[in-house]
Amino acid sequence: KKEIFRADYQPPNYWVRWVDLAFLVEQDHTLVSARILFKRNRAIMDNTLFLDGQHLSLQRLSIDGDEVAVDDLYLTDRGLLLHDLPDQFELRSEVKIYPAENTALEGLYQSGEFFLTQCEAEGFRRITYYPDRPDVLAPFTVTIVADKTRYPVLLSNGNRLAAGDLSHNRHYCKWVDPHPKPSYLFAMVAGDLAYIEDQFTTANNKQIQLRIFTEQRNIDACDYAMQSLKNAMRWDEERFNLVYDLDEYNIVVTDDFNMGAMENKGLNIFNSKYVLAKQNTATDQDFIHVEAVIGHEYFHNWTGNRITCRDWFQLSLKEGLTVFRDQEFTSDQQSRAVKRIEDVRHLRSAQFAEDASPMSHPVRPDSYIEINNFYTLTVYEKGAEVVRMYHTLLGETGFQKGMDLYFKRHDGTAVSCDDFRHAMADANQMDLTQFGLWYSQNGTPVVTAESEYDADEACYRLRFEQHPPDSYRGKTAWQPMHIPIKLALYDDTGRPLKLNRQSDTHIVFELTQKQQSLEIENVSGRPTPSLLQGFSAPVRLKQKLTFEDWAFLAQHDQDAFNRWDAAQQLQQNIILAKYRALQDNETHKTPKLFFDSFRQLLLNEKLDKGLVALAITLPTLQSLIVNMDAVDVAVLHRAKEQLVDEINQHLQVEILSVYHQNHTDEPYQVSARQVAQRSLKNRCLWYLVQSGNKEFYHLCHQQHKNADNYTDTITALTLLAHRQAPGYEDLLADYYNQWQEHPLMINKWLSIQATIPAEDTLDRVRQLMELPVFSLKNPNAVRAVLGAFCAGNLTRFHAPDGCGYAFLADQVLALDTINPQIAARMVSLLNDFRQFHPDLRHQMLSQIKRIHAADKLSANVFEIVDRALQ
């Protein structure tokens, strides 16, 4: 289990000029023939070449036509070492592989009755011998031969050049991808798939053929994804001036996929969860995720494929940037405020937790054992925040100038995060040297803010200080970062003050030193500050605001994000006060101001309803736990329940009326307005049902029965099941009977049950795992049951006797022999052990130790548990 370091990067000894692959697909194996032209890298005087190759059965190999006996090769289970090579040569090889036995879902594997590939990061080495690294780029030609009846559809990257029949009921397809690409973007598919098609006309008037391929049973659920693809193509032209560059764009859908989707050039492969969506099978959130992921993979065509990563340490170069782009896409299509709040909520609960855990790493990591463990929230979401900070500092125009220069300099090459930063700096004549620390220093910086008002001088002063994160693990001393702090000040009527000569009502203050102050003059009364608006930097901001200040901001802040955040701060403060009171056996009384503030938000007709829904949603346990130590989960849960009860006691009438006002019978649409309305209505229903009142169970049953859309049905079903309200078992049984043939629908059914907050849920989970609809081989099913139980049912997962942890450890060990990537994801659910009460923490650690001690662990799982024990 070798650790790989960023500092050890070496360019390759040989470049690849072109690749020509031929696949002969049979039911039980595939033969892969490769012809590769290598050319010596003149900068390096080394005539050896290591070709990665794993799980391959080498049949023959020749160099410039001279056969090399397999026995004469330096061959290991990691690859093949060639030596004494000429400056240029053609390598031919033939290997046999067994896709049907591949349960790791990396390389070529089987899903249902068809074959497909997943190569990022290092799956291509399971297909043929090759320098499987992202800085080796080449044009690919691919010919696929297979039985015509079993595998009528044969796909690969690029444009289809030729197709035809062969003897023995076989046929072939030949694909050419003229754009040089690294091996991780290779893809091929063979199977009996149906498709829908459409066209897109680009800004430079080229017709692109669009197709989505799926198993016949799903063919009626792809239309929303197709529309999303066209929206994404148009949006990227309009906002980024980026136009598609092949004649066709194909998407293939599978139920068996390790992650969300994959941006292979011209041939995206998608987890069915992010394509299939119909009114009666998908929630509003599902639809929005489909649009976002379709967009994300499409946007990679320029940020990832045309310009790719020099090495895997630079992963955030393409992922952080592409997440930023998909966030902007969703913001422009849906509600910008809601999107920002949801993204930050996720960042602050999950990414902040990762950054405080043993897996904490910089956006550009310094080392790894298994690169698949570094497709993390830090690389993706914090990476996107780093890109967003350039945007905040440079503005839309400056940012686009930087993007233009980035494409001009680097199109068609493999580059680093520094190259991106230099393009942003050079295009704007700005020094972004210090900004580079965002890529190299791990952990979440802490910023404290103090204010001072001098009435005699009419002067308001804000004093900021930045502090290193506790989890900082760099080898050199932590250095202050370049932190953009967007801010506004409000007078006591809620009007924003003019902050400078240009009369701006908000400014971006650049905190670059350890301590730095900002002075605003002509301030005629003590203002209320709204700091870090829009969450302008991924930091933990600590400021000394009173309960009244937060309530004021919740009512007046014109920045939607900070307005929501103020409401959250109030709720968090109350829950934490109740938590402490419960621990001390005291009672806590919620101040009246809290209910007034809550009522004002709930009944505010001028606000975006999506924002209201978010503002009245209490913080999740997970998001509270990140900010606490020695957490007693059961007590924290009770504290939150107490607040829910009190809200119901004070505001049930209002909540019920908002429910009814927003329960309309308009025909269903996934429009921002309707989505917002449903989210508000369903949040109200959530409160009502928590009261345990029969009348509201009845209301919930009514909604379940009468809804014309899946959002409303599944919300009602979930609420009834989680309360174990009368009749819920029948509803679950009906659901199963209706949907048992549809994996995505069954996964939701599994998740609902795995998250029932009842004593016997773990037994239920064990029974669910015995059903024929569950398999450890299917990543979506694993996430739906194990993931939901461990991350979405915290009171049960953290059961005081440790049975939740032992269960997870058992499953991780079983999974590790099947699919190490998924096993590693699941074991990571123990990574936040430092946050918990010693009684819990010790039990979590003892399961981590048990896994660590097991024989034959994969590198994936080993790296996670080993870091946890360091």
Per the CB < 8 A criterion, the answer to whether 191 and 209 are in contact is: no
Task: With CA atoms as reference, report the closest residue to 364 among 295, 421, 404, 324.
Answer: 421
Q: Which of 50, 130, 312, 375 binds ligand B3K (CB under 6 A)?
A: 375
Task: Tell me the closest approach of the beta carbon of residue 294 to ligand B3K, in angstroms.
Answer: 11
Residues 288-307 that bind Zn ion (CB under 5 A): none
Cα separation, 188 vs 25, in Å, equals 11
Q: Which does 858 bind (CB under 5 to 8 A by kind): ligand B3K, Zn ion, none?
A: none
Residues 260-289 that bind ligand B3K (CB under 6 A): 261-263
What x/- string results for residues 353 through 372 when contact with ligand B3K is judged by CB under 6 A?
A: -------------------x
Which CB atom, from 215 or from 263, has the smaller least distance to ligand B3K? 263
The site for Zn ion, by CB under 5 A, has a size of 2
Cα separation, 76 vs 50, in Å, equals 11
Locus of tokens 């209490």: 618
Q: Which does 588 bind (CB under 5 to 8 A by kind): ligand B3K, Zn ion, none?
A: none
Listed ranges 321-329, 353-361, 729-737, 781-789: which one lies at the site for Zn ion (CB under 5 A): 321-329
Q: Please enumerate in sequence order all residues whose Cβ is within 8 A of that of 653, keeping only pairs 6 or more positions apart, or say none.
A: none
Residue 353 in tokens: 């937790």
Q: Which does 776 bind (CB under 5 to 8 A by kind): ligand B3K, Zn ion, none?
A: none
What x/- string results for residues 66 through 105 when contact with ligand B3K is judged by CB under 6 A?
A: ----------------------------------------
Residues 293-312 that bind ligand B3K (CB under 6 A): 296-297, 300
Which CB atom, from 95 or from 269, has the smaller least distance to ligand B3K? 269
Is 537 exposed, middle or buried, given 0-12, 13-18 or 19+ CB atoms closer than 10 A?
buried
Residue 849 in tokens: 């130790």
Biggest CA–CA distance in the chain, Å, is: 95
Across the strands, what pairs with 177?
140
Q: Please enumerate in sequence order all residues whose Cβ is within 8 A of that of 635, keeping only pairs 6 or more positions apart, or say none.
A: 579, 582, 583
Which CB atom, from 121 or from 532, has the smaller least distance to ligand B3K? 121
Q: Which does 353 bind (CB under 5 to 8 A by kind): ligand B3K, Zn ion, none?
A: none
Task: With CA atoms as reference, report the closest residue to 131 among 59, 40, 262.
Answer: 40
Per the CB < 8 A criterion, the answer to whether 119 and 186 are in contact is: yes
Residue 701 in tokens: 């049953």
Q: Which of 256, 319, 385, 559 binds ligand B3K (CB under 6 A)?
A: 319
Q: At CB < 8 A and 24+ separation, what contacts does 400-409 make?
A: 400/240, 400/241, 401/427, 401/428, 402/427, 402/428, 403/240, 404/241, 406/307, 407/302, 407/306, 407/307
Which CB atom, from 300 or from 422, has the smaller least distance to ligand B3K? 300
Task: Tell me the closest approach of the beta carbon of residue 299 to Zn ion, in angstroms.
Answer: 8
Helices 710-723, 743-754: inter-axial angle, 10-degree rounding = 30
Q: Which of 63, 137, 259, 576 binds ligand B3K (CB under 6 A)?
A: 259
Q: Which does 52 bind (CB under 5 to 8 A by kind): ligand B3K, Zn ion, none?
A: none
What x/- string results for residues 115 through 134 when contact with ligand B3K is judged by CB under 6 A?
A: -----xx-------------
Q: Is 382 in the site for ligand B3K (CB under 6 A)?
A: no
Task: Tell me the closest approach of the beta carbon of residue 239 to Zn ion, in angstroms.
Answer: 18
Instruction: Give catalytic status of residue 248 as yes or no.
Output: no
Task: Tell me the closest approach of the beta carbon of residue 262 to Zn ion, in angstroms.
Answer: 8
Q: Which does 594 bind (CB under 5 to 8 A by kind): ligand B3K, Zn ion, none?
A: none
Task: Tell me the closest approach of the beta carbon of residue 160 to ligand B3K, in angstroms.
Answer: 24
Which CB atom, from 211 or from 325, has the smaller least distance to Zn ion? 325
Q: What number of other Cβ atoms are within 10 A of residue 684's Cβ?
A: 25
The CA-atom distances, in angstroms, between 27 and each of 98, 114, 147 are 9, 9, 9
Q: Return the residue nearest ligand B3K (CB atom).
A: 120
Task: With CA atoms as reference, report the closest residue to 421 among 376, 466, 389.
Answer: 389
Cα separation, 65 vs 89, in Å, equals 9
Which CB atom, from 381 or from 632, has the smaller least distance to ligand B3K? 381
Whether the CA torsion 241, 245, 250, 253 is positive or negative: it is negative
Task: Tell me the closest approach of the beta carbon of residue 630 to Zn ion, in angstroms.
Answer: 37
Cα separation, 545 vs 462, in Å, equals 13
Task: Tell me the closest approach of the beta carbon of residue 259 to ligand B3K, in angstroms.
Answer: 5
Q: What number of other Cβ atoms are within 10 A of residue 587's Cβ?
A: 9
Q: What number of other Cβ atoms are within 10 A of residue 149's Cβ?
A: 10
Q: Which does 259 bind (CB under 5 to 8 A by kind): Zn ion, ligand B3K, none?
A: ligand B3K
Task: Tell me the closest approach of the beta carbon of residue 420 to Zn ion, in angstroms.
Answer: 15
Locus of tokens 């010790």: 842
φ/ψ of residue 249, rounded to 5: -140, 115
Q: Which residues of 642-678 are buried (b: 16+ CB within 10 A; e: fewer)?
A: bbeebbbebbbebbbebbeebbeeeebebebebbbbb
Which CB atom, from 121 or from 624, has the smaller least distance to ligand B3K? 121
Task: Tell me the closest approach of the beta carbon of residue 59 to ligand B3K, in angstroms.
Answer: 29
Q: Which does 755 bind (CB under 5 to 8 A by kind): ligand B3K, Zn ion, none?
A: none
Amino acid at 264: N
The site for ligand B3K, by CB under 6 A, has a size of 12
Cα separation, 227 vs 183, in Å, equals 29
Cα separation, 529 vs 491, in Å, equals 9
Amino acid at 370: E
Which CB atom, from 262 or from 815, has the smaller least distance to ligand B3K? 262
Which CB atom, from 268 or from 322, has the smaller least distance to Zn ion? 322
Listed ranges 258-266, 439-447, 625-633, 837-845: which one lies at the site for ligand B3K (CB under 6 A): 258-266
Cα separation, 100 vs 391, in Å, equals 46
Listed ranges 25-33, 48-56, 319-327, 781-789: which one lies at the site for Zn ion (CB under 5 A): 319-327
Listed ranges 318-326, 331-339, 424-432, 512-520: which one lies at the site for Zn ion (CB under 5 A): 318-326
Q: Which does 375 bind (CB under 5 to 8 A by kind): ligand B3K, Zn ion, none?
A: ligand B3K
Listed ranges 105-113, 311-319, 482-490, 859-867: which one lies at the site for Zn ion (CB under 5 A): 311-319
Task: Tell me the closest approach of the beta carbon of residue 799 to ligand B3K, in angstroms.
Answer: 32
Counting every residue written for the chain, the total comes to: 870
Q: What number of other Cβ atoms are within 10 A of residue 858's Cβ?
A: 19
Locus of tokens 């802490």: 446
Residue 824 in tokens: 């590693």
Task: With CA atoms as reference, report the closest residue to 377 among 828, 815, 777.
Answer: 828
Task: Tell me the closest approach of the beta carbon of residue 269 to ligand B3K, in angstroms.
Answer: 10
Locus of tokens 């897109």: 200
Q: Which does 121 bind (CB under 5 to 8 A by kind): Zn ion, ligand B3K, none?
A: ligand B3K
Catalytic site residue from 215, 248, 297, 385: 297
Which CB atom, from 185 or from 857, has the smaller least distance to Zn ion? 185
Which CB atom, from 303 or from 677, has the smaller least distance to Zn ion? 303
φ/ψ of residue 317, rounded to 5: -50, -45
Task: Tell me the closest approach of the beta carbon of residue 206 to ligand B3K, in angstroms.
Answer: 25
Task: Tell me the closest approach of the beta carbon of residue 323 to ligand B3K, in angstroms.
Answer: 8
Q: Which does 712 bind (CB under 5 to 8 A by kind): Zn ion, ligand B3K, none?
A: none
Complete DSSP assignment for 627-662: T-SSB-HHHHHHHHHHHHHHHHHHHHHHHHHHHHHT
Active site (catalytic) residues: 297
| Binding region for ligand B3K (CB under 6 A) | 120-121, 259, 261-263, 296-297, 300, 319, 372, 375
| Binding region for Zn ion (CB under 5 A) | 319, 322
